[in-house]
Amino acid sequence: MDFVKDLISIRDLEKKHIDMILKKSSEMEQALKQGKQLTSLKGDVVATLFFEPSTRTRLSFQTAAMRLGAKVLSFENVGASSIVKGETFSDTIRMVDGYADIIVVRHAKEGSARYAAQLAEHPVINGGDGGNQHPTQTLLDLYTIKRAKRKIEGLNVTLLGDLKHARTMRSLLYGLSMYGANVTLVSPKGLEMNKEIINEARARFGARVEEKSKMDLSDADVLYLCRIQKERFSDQYEAEKVQKEFRITEDTIKGVKDDLIIMHPLPKIDEVAPEVDRSKYAYYYEQAKMGIPVRMAIMDAMVV
């Protein structure tokens, strides 16, 4: 089955595409555990263009590319590039398109990845465009959930935190809805998820979505929280206030299901107490590891 040429939004994928990536991700994970040498990208160059800071996404893409035999062309220090001389984003993309076989782009401006895909002849993968989309994070989140719970359909998933600014949550709601999960959105007033995104999920997939302003984790199978993105706030005092109100502590997780898993796209600041990191519920470090086999699966599918 053919995969998409460019991966810009989770909306670009049908369920059959995601099923393929989840299956291929499991195969990649097993191959890594067995120490197999994979060569589907041997001779190829993967360019990672990160105009915005990143740790996990950038490093996992680079590691995934090398695990498949590719060479990596890394771009993460804008200050050392021709951009400081006035080179435009479009010229940078066209230039790199002549050097690489796959281009991974992260940029603060929404729509930048799709624009890059329009300019480039080679496949483009969105590594996050502002507060818009982060499709590869969603794919690794879905893989993590299915790996831990053996299914996605019918699970009670709570998305908690700043749902207004978090691109991860937008993409994940769409993916969870496609698979028939029951989703509860919990956010502070003023930081609710965009209604258009919720309505689209309901219209396309009959999504079961409930919105709340108070935490109740007693029925949750999965708790997925995100940090309060202070860098996207004009009022830093407001951001710090919200961080404290929606913090996960030892008391917060009293009475939860015994097999609850807590996920987080990372980085986390102080929205999770240290004692929670040490609890059996913390699953975000395992989640972060899944970035490698999933991104291997995505790039492998794009070059087949």
Q: Which two tokens stand for residue 1?
A: 């089955």
Range of the domain at 271: 135-288
What's the one-letter identity of residue 30? Q
Say if residue 93 is in the same domain as residue 166.
no
Q: How far is CA 282 from the centre of its chain?
A: 18
The position carrying tokens 């989840």 is 22
Q: Let me know whether 278 and 165 are in one domain.
A: yes
Q: State the total domains in the chain.
A: 2
Element (H, E) at 260: none
Catalytically active residues are 56-57, 85, 106, 134
The side-by-side arrangement of strands in the sheet containing 102-107 is: 71-75, 45-50, 102-107, 124-129
- Residue 45: how many CB atoms within 10 A of its CB? 17
Task: Tell me, yes or no, whether 194 and 279 share the same domain.
Answer: yes
Put residue 232 in one of left, alpha, beta given phi > 0 → left and psi -120 to 50 → alpha.
Answer: alpha
Instruction: Determine, yes or no, domain membership for 162.
Output: yes
Specify whether 240 is located in the same domain as 142.
yes
Q: Quote the pLDDT of residue 80.
A: 41
Same domain, 150 and 83: no
Q: What is the CATH number of the domain that holds 40?
A: 3.40.50.1370
Per-residue pLDDT of the chain (304 residues; tens, 9 = 90+): 689 999 999 999 999 999 999 999 999 999 999 999 999 999 999 999 998 888 889 999 999 999 999 999 998 755 444 554 567 899 999 999 999 999 999 998 989 999 999 999 999 999 988 777 889 999 999 999 999 999 999 999 999 988 988 888 988 999 999 999 999 999 988 889 999 999 999 999 999 999 998 889 999 999 999 877 666 567 777 777 777 778 899 999 999 999 999 999 988 888 899 999 999 999 999 999 999 999 999 999 998 6
Cα distance between residue 86 and residue 228, in whole Å? 32
Cα separation, 272 vs 247, whole angstroms: 6
Contacts of 235 (CB under 8 A, 6+ apart): none
* pLDDT tens per residue across span 56-82: 899 999 999 999 999 999 987 554 445
Token pair 């810009």 is found at 8
User: Where on the phi/psi map is residue 123: left (φ > 0), alpha (ψ -120 to 50), or beta?
Assistant: beta
Judge if 129 and 145 occupy the same domain.
no
Q: Is residue 250 part of a domain?
A: yes
Q: Tell me the pTM.
A: 0.92
**Phi, psi at residue 186, to the nearest 5°?**
-125, 120
Q: What is the DSSP string of 126-164?
A: EEEETTS--HHHHHHHHHHHHHHHS--TT-EEEEES-TT
- What gap in Å lies between CA 142 and CA 179, rounded to an integer? 9
- Distance in angstroms (rounded) separating the CA atoms of residues 172 and 277: 23
Rounded distance, CA 68 to CA 140, Å? Answer: 17
Q: Are residues 71 and 158 in the same domain?
A: no
Same domain, 154 and 79: no
Q: In this structure, what token pair is assigned to residue 20?
A: 């393929």
Return the pLDDT at 86. Answer: 61
The answer to whether residue 80 is domain-embedded is yes
In contact, 249 and 225? CB cutoff 8 Å: no
How far is CA 155 from each of CA 107, 175, 219, 221, rounded to the nearest angstrom?
33, 13, 10, 6
Residue 3, domain member (yes or no): no
Question: Residues 49, 109: contact at Cβ < 8 Å?
Answer: no
Q: Which of 283, 38, 3, 55 has its CA nearest to residue 149?
A: 283
Residue labelled with tokens 């996992």: 60
